[in-house]
Structure 1
């Protein structure tokens, strides 16, 4: 039965999605991180002390998360095989986000198709950090495709990968690392040193899952009749151009599969930031490419779950 857990988690995510609740495990993780940040972070401290404090926060969060999920696993095991199976599947589904990614992307695509640029700009601002007030259809599409593609790694494949390695506790330990990176892993004045340990740990933990995701994108591109050869070529050529050592593998392969170009000029608080180009502009970006990216994302999700189940059976 354990081998079916990744598939069951994907199924439950498709049915219930990501419930908005203050008791959601990832929400509770965020509250723990925020609490420890208030206790451990001091802006007046020097670089060394901030590095130490950030590393201590990271260690506590990972340790506490792992232990809680280890005890949850043991407690569920005492309740019988059926409750244990579906309990673990439900908790694992909270670490993955295919339905949330699809809903966000398809909502933006629908606004674009209805020429409702105001709502499209507003909604894309929920999923990206860049300025969105002046984006046209192509730039809104680019922002959405980049986000969905990038999150194939940390929102789907990486949690399943670590579940295969160490069960529910390690899958949630990964989610803790990723949540810390999203909260404090920034290269700005406040978090340059305090968040560095979390950012580096996230890079390390995502290194292999990112490259596995690239391979799964190729398989999904074959099944969905996209362009796997171009996906392979663009990933090998452009993935290393991304500022993240990992995100480029999913983004560049998706760009190649769809025949579009990602990257370009972004604005953050009015400041220009040029992101290296990935892929070639064979087609002009438009709403349909969001739908095609969501289809690739679901393909990668199913392929990842099947691969994880096969590994667990073996």
Structure 2
């Protein structure tokens, strides 16, 4: 194999794609161990400190808050991506650091942890006659008020968060890893640099991306960047998810177009689309009224008229995500083999 001009001889060819494959496997095997400090926790710590400094400096000024939000976004995304790139450079000269790079890459994927969190909700519904344990388990993974949800509403919320976070927590970072794997042999930022940069934007959105108080201005930059980085992976999920059900290409495109149409009224340019494609693939109705504290929000109905989701449908949803991840990884390996043939 011809060595690339970047000098990354040990990572030439398909090796970066194999590294992404190994990271996905490690994520599915161990998830996010509680004893290990997670990079997202570190990002969250920095966001909290930077927010305090920004709000103190801005003194309530919307213009200053927007400017500070841009600064926080720039610092965190470039800092996180730079830390990933630094670790990648260390691996060029110190092969024994490969396991650390692999663990760091796996930390950017949330396939196993999302599945465990959703299954904890389903288990609570199965093992307890009371809804309290299921509401508590659900409250860890959704932003809506869960204290008065019925069993059917709990299942709908579980299906919606599983479909939305499959894109945000699994397929979007996996997409950017693959892009990094393609760039790395040519001297560009590699899979960890792009994955951690994406996770920084995603963490900013989850912590600051709210339309209340000072966050209406402070969180704008991070939320917009996260929307931008998720936009293409979300549409790729809409195009590829029907394929893992065995649907033909002729039926896949109209279904993806329907998901785009039904998801458009959602305030998020991506959440509605990701939920809509899962709803149509599973033939269940999602969307409706959500309560956030004392505020109610009417989300668009997705696959309107279909049956409400049951526990078995949520399990099928998780299974679809697993199969789609395998499809994406197989496609990435084929691309890697073709690009670096």
SS of residue in 2 equivalent to 1:193: helix
CA deviations over 1:243-290 (Å, ceiling 9, x no partner): 111112210011001111111011111221111111134223221111
| Separation in structure 2 between the aligned mates of residue 249 and residue 236 of structure 1, nearest angstrom | 5
CA change 1:91–1:113 in 2 (3 A) is same
CA deviations over 1:102-137 (Å, ceiling 9, x no partner): 111112112223344221111111111111111112
Contact 2:173–2:195 (CA<8 Å) still a contact in 1? Answer: yes
| Separation in structure 2 between the aligned mates of residue 104 and residue 231 of structure 1, nearest angstrom | 28
1:253 correspondence with 2:253: no
Matches for 1:92-103 after TM superposition, within 5 Å: 92-103=105-116
1:215 corresponds, among 219, 222, 239, to 239
1:8 corresponds, among 22, 32, 39, to 22
1:265 correspondence with 2:296: no
1:230, distance to aligned residue in structure 2 (A): 8.3
Contact 2:286–2:308 (CA<8 Å) still a contact in 1? Answer: no
1:24, distance to aligned residue in structure 2 (A): 1.5
1:79 corresponds, among 90, 94, 101, to 94
Contact 1:117–1:137 (CA<8 Å) still a contact in 2? Answer: yes
1:61 correspondence with 2:76: yes
Number of positions where the alignment pairs a residue of Structure 1 with one of Structure 2? 309
Residue aligning to 1:142:
156
Q: Which runs of 5+ in 1 are unaligned?
A: none
Residue aligning to 2:11:
none
Q: TM-score, normalised by structure 2?
A: 0.85
| Separation in structure 2 between the aligned mates of residue 61 and residue 150 of structure 1, nearest angstrom | 24
1:308, distance to aligned residue in structure 2 (A): 2.6
CA deviations over 1:224-258 (Å, ceiling 9, x no partner): xxx96885464143121221111122100110011
Contact 2:178–2:332 (CA<8 Å) still a contact in 1? Answer: yes
1:178 correspondence with 2:202: yes
Residue aligning to 1:275:
299
1:29 corresponds, among 43, 54, 76, to 43
1:86, distance to aligned residue in structure 2 (A): 3.7
1:108 correspondence with 2:108: no
Q: Which moved more, 1:283-292 or 1:19-28?
A: 19-28
1:196 correspondence with 2:211: no
- Two-structure CA RMSD over aligned residues (Å): 2.0
SS of residue in 2 equivalent to 1:127: coil
Residue aligning to 1:52:
67
Residue aligning to 2:332:
308
SS of residue in 2 equivalent to 1:218: helix
CA deviations over 1:157-183 (Å, ceiling 9, x no partner): 111211222321111101100001111
Contact 1:230–1:257 (CA<8 Å) still a contact in 2? Answer: no
Q: TM-score, normalised by structure 1?
A: 0.92
2:176 corresponds, among 146, 162, 183, to 162
CA change 1:8–1:63 in 2 (3 A) is same
Q: Which runs of 5+ in 2 are unaligned?
A: 1-14, 181-189
Structure of larger gyration radius: 2
| Separation in structure 2 between the aligned mates of residue 133 and residue 242 of structure 1, nearest angstrom | 24
CA deviations over 1:168-205 (Å, ceiling 9, x no partner): 11111011000011110111112000111111111111
CA change 1:243–1:221 in 2 (3 A) is farther
